[in-house]
Structure 1
Amino acid sequence: MAQVSLRNLRKQYGTALAVSDFSLDITDGEMVAFLGPSGCGKTTTLRMVAGFVAPTSGTVHIGGKDVTQLAPNRRNTGMVFQRYALFPHMTVAQNVAFGLEMRKFPAAERAARIKQALEMVRLHALSERYPRQLSGGQQQRVAIARALAVQPEVFLLDEPLSNLDAKLRVEVREEIRALQQRLGLTTIFVTHDQEEALTIADRLAVMHDGRVQQIGTSAELYERPANRFVADFLGQMNFLEGRLHEGGAFVTERGTPLSVASTDQAIRVVGLRPERVALADTPLALGNCLPVTVSSAVYKGATVEVHAQTERGDTLICHVQNNGSTPHQSIAAGAKAFAGFAASDCVFFH
């Protein structure tokens, strides 16, 4: 396994800037997710690491070696593509063998590595089947086995779960994570799915318009987002615009006063996660307790998403846990309630 160091990576197509000044150090055995919406530059960055896209400027180091100018097959990376890229006329074993043949491994070693890779993904019994005879999840595991057969220093996955149904996505992502940890593989995982990134990665790099917005652990990015884009992209958040007044109260543009744990006069927006907003029939003993009127309540199974209006007209979204004991799981539009949250639950943006 190996460290990966990206230094000031930049990719420009004519006047269009796909990736701007991307720098990141990935430690040996770490899994990092590149996360962002379509077109943000995450796949382009991954392909620069793999060698399929040449950077306009910047460098890629793997295991301390500058590989920026090396061809993909000389970088010792294993890549799993979004659409698997399996050869339909080849069996499972032949597909797994392809990368080994390109690297000119001897036949005996190829056979041993194919067997080992298919056993890792629990598909050795299906080695003679063709891709059309496999389920989507099985095809995905063949693609993973093909990437692992070359025993890569770095494992690269480009939206590997996007073609699977919701339940299978969860199963396969858990398999990928378990396999990555068992093998100690340095891994880069590209996804636009927030839940996927939060649950599978050691660290996340959130991207937007070709630029890295924030790098950190799941908890760091979710609890303390660097800007509104990160806050809004990773889950839901209430945004309340206004100013901090003398005495420490933040007053929204509509006039709702909030108690916040900051004295920064440059604050213009307070952010608040919906799950941090408590809802009750009676006043709550929290730093903030606002009378509200329920606008709508959407049943989501594990939670009920409640939209409510403060007396001054600010909207608050609240996620009420469906634990079977709260009357708010069926609260109706027009009902009066109190929304409460601690001052420490607020995050701030300039």
Structure 2
Amino acid sequence: MTASHVDRTRLPAGETCQSQGDPGAGAGRLPWLDAARGCALLGMLAYHAAWDLHAFGLLALDPGAALPWRILGHGVAGAFLLVSGISLGVARLRGVTMGRMASRLARVGVCALLVTGATLVLSPSAPVWFGILHCIAVTSLCALMAIRMRTPVLLGLAGVATLAPLLVRLPLGTGWAWTGLTANLPASLDFRPTLPWLGVVLAGLAVGRSRWPWRLAAVLARVPDRPAWVGGALRWSGRHSLGLYLVHQPVLVGALMLGLGTGWPSTPVDPLRDPADAAAFLQQCRRQCGLTGGDAALCLSTCHCVLTRALTAAQTTRIMLDASKIGAAVAACRPVEPDAAPRLRQ
């Protein structure tokens, strides 16, 4: 008995996957799933565009600190991971082999390594060790290992994965930050730990194996696609989301560099725009430290330590925002307050 047959027996009496719009019974892809991925891509473009404008000094608002933009960033990441889980469930129902699914995940993993390599060159003080692509690759691999589990078990595991970082904090170094179980986080331009985001992927997997993707496809098929080019553009971008993800930042940053006639921002991890304002430095440092879950008192003492060491390294009363000096100060202060070293980013 095939997996596809097992899943189809769960449908109501008299209904088949074909009657529900199952791609395995005829069509190739679920158009709404491609469109959902395309919408997430648009949100990501908006967030990164604001981030780049801030990095080049064209936008005073800091998307990494403003609550609405932080919500957008988390929402976009959650959408990508949810769609990844649903896609795995849909692929399973369509009879896609485990080898093909693993091959797709391998491509995501290779692209994640490319992102790490590029950021090591362009932003050595805050490279992307475990960003959204790394998270998708690892959580999807975990989902593949759980793909045969019953839906109640999957949903239970999703709940455990979501709550685990709130209940468990282990005294681990930054090398284990990818697990999501330590408060000692690395300085990084993008960081998405395995937990709690594995819960989103597992929930998506449970949805993808159910009848709801087909029912939604059947409902949306009756909705007029107007204007047609909007839906077409969203579906096309969703089908090519991985490639678009890889090229969107080089295009955005390249356009800004060309338009402004300048080079790469000299301080990719810049906690302060006005180098003469120590108070602003401390405020920004404490805010960034707090975003990583650091205790307020520890954040304050660590930020004072970083400020003092940065001033000493600069040998001036002005705060020199050289990334290497700031990075060295953070590293020197970390042994004093290991759980409160601030995650400095723009």
TM-score range, shorter chain: under 0.3
Query: TM-score by structure 1 length?
Result: 0.27
Structure with higher helix content: 2
Q: Which has the larger radius of gyration?
A: 1
Q: Which has the higher contact order (CA 8 A, sep 6+)?
A: 2
| TM-score normalized by the length of structure 2 | 0.27
Which structure has greater strand proportion?
1
